[in-house]
Copies of this chain bind each other. A is one copy, B any other.
Amino acid sequence: MKPLPPDITCASRPLTFTVTATNEHGEQLDTEIAGEGPLTLYLDKREIVTLMTLGAAPEALAIGYLRNQRLIPSVENIACVQVDWETEAVAVTTREGVKIPAKRLKKRTVTTGCGQGTVFGDLMEEIDKIQLPQDVTLDEETLHSLLENVRHHDSLYKKAGALHGCALARNDKILYYIEDVGRHNAVDAIAGQMWLDGVAGGDKIFYTTGRLTSEMVIKAAQMGIPFLISRSGLTRMGWEIANRVGITMLGRAQGRHFLLFTGAQRFRFAGKAT
């Protein structure tokens, strides 16, 4: 028997606020700024983490965080996700409880900090198990069309700045577009939404406005997504992991420009017959 879908709140918050600023001409201007607030995640009443978030997709964020940290093995384990902004908390309740190995919690302790929140040691060990599909391709015209769609997508960033956006796409069609104050939150929220909707990664494209650091590449690969595209640049570890896991990674993708860094076998240039 298929389990019921989780019972979840829909507690997206007002996302921008207006403050008054003074510009270089001494003029007072109303300026929109992005929301940001703490959201403490409880898993079966156990406090796990406090996330600083825009609050656009708090339920998906909570689920995606637990997914990407591998604290819950599948979405079927989740009975209920309740966001309460009064107490700045999200409570995730599982159907039969989950066991978190003590080692995991210890690991998490020591990787706090500018590692940007990932259980890095554990993740590296899992990379070699990832098999990304080889029978999918992305052609240059589809890429351009997707980048155009991203550019025209209504985003809070255009209004308020100080946000990172991530999109999940199939060909040039944007399926999800999620923004948050941290790029890792945006990635996690997409991972959570994919679980909620039963969406697989194998024929999808992951787009991010953020940089392609080690963690961004690891998370895309863990979601089983063979294409990773960023408007920004990349770091050495991002590149090394992309090579190792065999993901097709494009950076500096904006307008008609891009740089194809890894996984060239899945990319079709417009000029070439294939």
| A 78-122 contacts with B by CB, 8 A | 105, 108-117, 120-121
Name the distance in Å between A224's Cβ and chain B's nearest Cβ. Answer: 22
| A 255-271 contacts with B by CB, 8 A | 256-261, 264, 269, 271
A245 at the interface (CB under 8 A from B): no
A3 at the interface (CB under 8 A from B): no
A234 at the interface (CB under 8 A from B): yes
When the two chains form their complex, are residues B113 and A34 in contact, meaning their CB atoms are under 8 A apart? Answer: no
When the two chains form their complex, are residues B211 and A162 in contact, meaning their CB atoms are under 8 A apart? Answer: yes
Name the distance in Å between A48's Cβ and chain B's nearest Cβ. Answer: 7
When the two chains form their complex, are residues A235 and B181 in contact, meaning their CB atoms are under 8 A apart? Answer: yes
A19 at the interface (CB under 8 A from B): yes
Contact string, A26-38, partner B, CB cutoff 8 A, digits 1/0? 1001010111111
Interface bracket on A: 35 or more
| A 1-58 contacts with B by CB, 8 A | 17, 19, 21-24, 26, 29, 31, 33-38, 40, 47-53
In the assembled complex, which residues on chain B have CB atoms less than 8 Å from the CB atom of A51? 113-115
Residue on B nearest A182 in the bound complex, by CB: B114
Name the distance in Å between A43's Cβ and chain B's nearest Cβ. Answer: 11
When the two chains form their complex, are residues A140 and B259 in contact, meaning their CB atoms are under 8 A apart? Answer: no
- What is the oligomeric copy number? 2
When the two chains form their complex, are residues A239 and B24 in contact, meaning their CB atoms are under 8 A apart? Answer: no
Q: A23-B259, A33-B235 are in contact. Are A115 and B271 (CB under 8 A)?
A: no
When the two chains form their complex, are residues A35 and B235 in contact, meaning their CB atoms are under 8 A apart? Answer: yes
| A 127-170 contacts with B by CB, 8 A | 140, 160-162
Name the distance in Å between A68's Cβ and chain B's nearest Cβ. Answer: 10
When the two chains form their complex, are residues B110 and A236 in contact, meaning their CB atoms are under 8 A apart? Answer: no
Q: How far is the CA of A114 from the CA of B31 in the complex (A)?
A: 26
**Interfacial residues, chain A to chain B (CB-CB below 8 A):** 17, 19, 21-24, 26, 29, 31, 33-38, 40, 47-53, 65, 69, 105, 108-117, 120-121, 140, 160-162, 180-182, 184-185, 188, 211-215, 232-239, 251-252, 256-261, 264, 269, 271-272
